[in-house]
A and B are shown apart, each in its own frame.
Chain A
Amino acid sequence: MISGGNNERLAREFFRNLNLPWPAEGCSVEDALAALDPEWLEEFGLTAEEIPLRLAEFLETMTRASALRPLRSLTVLGGRDKAGAPEEAELRLVPGDAVSVVGPTGSGKSRLLADIECLAQGDTPTGRRVLIDDAPVDEDERFRLGGKLVAQLSQNMNFVMDLTVAEFLEMHARSRMPDSADSDVEAACAHCFERANGLAGERFAQDTKVTQLSGGQSRALMIADCAYLSRSPVVLIDEIENAGVDRREALALLSSREKIVLISTHDPLLALEADRRVVIRGGGIRQVIETDEEERSALAALEAIDRTLREARQQLRYGESVRIP
């Protein structure tokens, strides 16, 4: 039942995890199980009987891990603010939506995100409730989704693995699709790499170490990776720096990949790019503002200023004198 192809690759990974010897290249899973030495197993706290069961469990977990039910909507129902006053708000988000979250430091922006992340059911300090597909979420689902629902991108994040861009993407893709064919993994990585380069101000190569990418390139790779390889249906962007990433393109990419995008920012270029913005004060949602026509024209004016700044930056980068047209 578990010979050949991807299952055999997974079985070998299972053996490696438990520090069990795989007898010989090309040997079947059954033979590998039969060759296990009970004394060796005992030393590592394992028994010969439990290994096949654990292997079956492992194969199941690894295939289950790659499936996450698509989300149709996410709704936040108001609770109470820091003063205990009711929070009159209902925020319903569907895939492709982008909203910005604004408010001074300490106003409760992180609280809102924390409520979404743990799928609050009226039991967190804010009393908020979060619905998925318009229904409350039971305990099992909360624990299962906890940590997987929201992908985060922030200014403070860095790559810490000592890998090239290609290796990095492959590693992430493999963890996402442990039972997929090599060609599918390669295609997903290639696509992600191309889009990341499209977002970055300066191109980078597949064999560049991720730790050597510039700030903008890192951000671009993280965004493309979130869009193509992350399974999380919600993406939170926290004050992403403006240098070196095409932010409009980035948002368009995430939206096109059916993500719900929340942007915590006071950068007008980014905040106005969203369709709506949530205003937080005193621990509660005070208002949800739709970006109107006047703001859109303000955005156009701000973008012109931003373009000028980017051009000046580009002139500096290539050793030219700065000239503003």
Chain B
Amino acid sequence: MKLITIAGPPSSGKTSVILHLAQAARARLGVVKFDCLASFDQERYEDAGIPVRTGFSGKFCPDHFFVNNVEAAVQWGRRLGLDILVTESAGLCNRCSPHIAGILAVCVVDHLSGIHTPRKVGPMLRLADAVAVTKGDIVSQAEREVFRHSVRQVNGNAKIFSINGITGQGAFLLAKMAEGARDVETLTDMRLRFTTPAAACAYCTGEMRIGEAYQMGMMRKMEFGE
């Protein structure tokens, strides 16, 4: 079974890209969706006949939640006899990066998010093997080219695909790339491409009150100067 990690900011079009990928790949594809509080994509996958599981990180750091569950996701996919398993996760803090060394990593970003977005989303784009850019059909050619340049600025090696989430145009080449992804039986002992956020502070364990007295564990303080 081939594994692909697909990540991108909320509402960038990840689900649409995956749906078109499933169609273009002509393979048995399943999805594990990692989200925080709510997700409305389960039905879209089910309607398309795509096996799907959704996990909510709730009060846990979404990245830690992902790493703690991704191996079980792989085993679920294998039990189902999938050809391709896609993990879909939203980079809510722009620092998230579910990408794993040796596993095809895709980042989805959209043209409407602004041309500085590629430089702000961090490792999930910087360390991706492919960047799928959506919503290009409603902005000008110049903006598409500047956006591509902006992606290049932080990731010189990724393949960049322009994908129309409505018609699916552009998904073919991404499917082509997915065919070449490596087969996995287990992720055990493989490594993430980037550290997950350090999260072991009082707020991680449910603290809600604000103030110095309640702050414990690992934390980082901003310096405001004069």
Q: Which residues of A contact B (CB under 8 A)?
A: 13-14, 17-18, 45, 57-58, 60-62, 65, 110, 113-114, 117-118, 123-124, 139, 142-143, 146-148, 151-154, 156-161, 168-169, 171-172, 175-176, 178, 218, 222, 225-226, 229-232
Contact = CB atoms under 8 A, between A and B. Distances in A.
B145 A159 contact: no
B177 to A, nearest CB: 7
A60 B112 CA distance: 28
Contact of B160 (A113, A147, A218, A229): A147
Contact of A175 (B149, B154, B156, B157): B149
A11 B189 CA distance: 37
Interface string B88-105: 000000000000000000
12 contacts: A61-B156, A62-B156, A117-B169, A146-B159, A151-B141, A157-B139, A158-B140, A160-B112, A161-B143, A168-B142, A222-B141, A230-B145
Given A110-B167, A225-B140, 9 more contacts: A57-B156, A58-B153, A114-B169, A147-B148, A154-B137, A157-B137, A158-B138, A158-B140, A168-B142
Interface residues of B, number: 37
Interface in B131-180: 133, 137-143, 145-146, 148-150, 152-154, 156-157, 159-162, 167, 169-170, 172-173, 176-177
Given A62-B152, A147-B170, A175-B149, A160 B143 contact: yes
Contact of B170 (A117, A142, A154, A171): A117
Contacts of A146: 159-162, 170, 173
Contacts of B142: 168-169, 172, 222, 225, 229-230
Nearest to A176: B145
Contacts, number: 110
Contacts of B123: 45
Does more than half of chain B's interface fall in helix, strand or loop, or is it mixed? helix
Contacts of A114: 169-170, 172
A143 B153 contact: no
A142 B180 CA distance: 14
Contacts of A157: 137-141
4 A-B pairs closest in CB distance: A61-B156, A175-B149, A172-B142, A147-B162
Interface string B189-226: 00000110000000000000000000000000000000
B115 interface: yes
Contacts of A147: 133, 148, 160-162, 170
B211 to A, nearest CB: 25
B51 to A, nearest CB: 24
Contacts of A158: 138-140
A17 B177 contact: no
Contacts of B138: 156-158, 160
Nearest to B169: A114
Contact of A225 (B137, B141, B149): B141
B33 interface: no
Contacts of B152: 61-62, 65
